[in-house]
Amino acid sequence: MSLLVTGSIGLDTLETPSGKREQVLGGSAIYFSYAASFFTPVRLVGVVGEDHPKSLFTLFEGREVDTGGIEVRSGSKTFRWHGSYLKDLNEAVTVEVDLNVLAERAPKIPAGFLDSKFIFLANTHPALQQEMLASLKSPKLIVADTMNLWIATERAQLVKLLSKVHGFVLNDGEARLLTEEKNLISAAKKVLKMGPKFVVIKKGEHGCLLVSDSGAFVLPAFPAEAVVDPTGAGDSFAGGMMGYLATQGGTISGATLKRALAYGTVVASYTISDFSLDGIKRADRDKIDGRWHEFKTAMSF
């Protein structure tokens, strides 16, 4: 069954110790869609301006990603983000951000997408996330992501969103910022009280933490020898996780969630190996499954 994702589509300027790339295609929905399409068909909903890159509509050729939900808005400009990892590869510093089209109304979800059962609200304005969620008919599993910008500027809207989702994904810094808790398990438990049934906290090179009413589970990152560009790693992680969950009917049992986190971790390991989407483009399902089994074996003791 198709997985619907709504989120940002943008142009990124990226600075890492490995170099710099300017105005490359990015955005949470783009990374998520590419990653999730290794597992299940994806329905992509987003909005860009007249200045969108030509590569946007050729990126997914040959993949099961329906781009019929991308709106090209006349008279508007595409979202832009300039991030730097020069100080710390685990944390992006936002040098400049131009919301542009993301500060406008939400894109309309096509009628043919409204019956989607598995929903991922990728990182974008929490008010837009809620607006799009409200138009869906009967979703079975809803998971959302966010970023520090929205926690700092739109906290009330974000907290309102959390009361409407089954799962929430955020990184360690965002978890501490949102809850004012230093301990990540305490932070996750505080988020659970806001509504979600499970919380996944991404910890960069230190892996991820899953917390639900059943308890806590910690998974290390896949051992990568080289990290070129972390941009989109979290979105790719979420794409792999949600793509696998969709193949399991949206089940959120402890065992299924653990396997989903492992798939997300493996997919993200391809993303970080090169700038922008170049790393994940070199992956395929056979490679992902092989790395997943390697990862699983390494975690057994």
pLDDT band at 164 (very low <50, low <70, confident <90, very high): very high
CA distance linking residue 166 with residue 174, whole number of Å: 18
> How far, CA to CA in Å, does 177 sit from each of 120, 146, 150, 166?
22, 12, 11, 21
Compute CA distances 114 → 45, 106, 137, whole Å.
Answer: 11, 15, 6
Residue whose C-alpha is closest to residue 248's, from 118, 145, 121, 119: 118
> What mean pLDDT value characterizes the chain?
94
pTM, whole model, 2 decimals? 0.94
What are the structure tokens assigned to 157, written together? Answer: 């809207």
Distance (Å, rounded) from C-alpha 16 to C-alpha 88? 9
Torsion, Cα of 186, 265, 5, 10 (10° steps): 100
**Domains located in the chain, CATH noted:** 3-299 (3.40.1190.20)
Q: Which residues of 195-228 are buried (b: 16+ CB within 10 A; e: fewer)?
A: ebebbbbbbbeeebbbbbeeeebebebbeeeebb
Percent of the chain surpassing pLDDT 90? 84
Bridge partners for 120 per DSSP: 5, 143
- Which two structure tokens, joined as six digits, stand for 223? 């051992």
Contact (CB, 8 A) for 237 and 205: no
pLDDT at 1: 65
Confidence tier at 300 by pLDDT (50, 70, 90): confident
What is the structure's pLDDT at 92? 87
Q: d(Cα 246, Cα 252) in Å, to the nearest integer? A: 10
Is residue 257 within 8 Å of residue 238, measured between CB atoms?
Answer: no
Tell me which amino acid residue 175 is: A
Residue 169 burial by CB count (10 A; 0-12/13-18/19+): exposed, middle or buried?
A: buried
Give the type of residue at 8.
S
Question: Is the model's pLDDT at 299 over the cut of 90?
Answer: no
The answer to whether residues 73 and 48 touch, using CB atoms and an 8 Å cutoff, is: yes
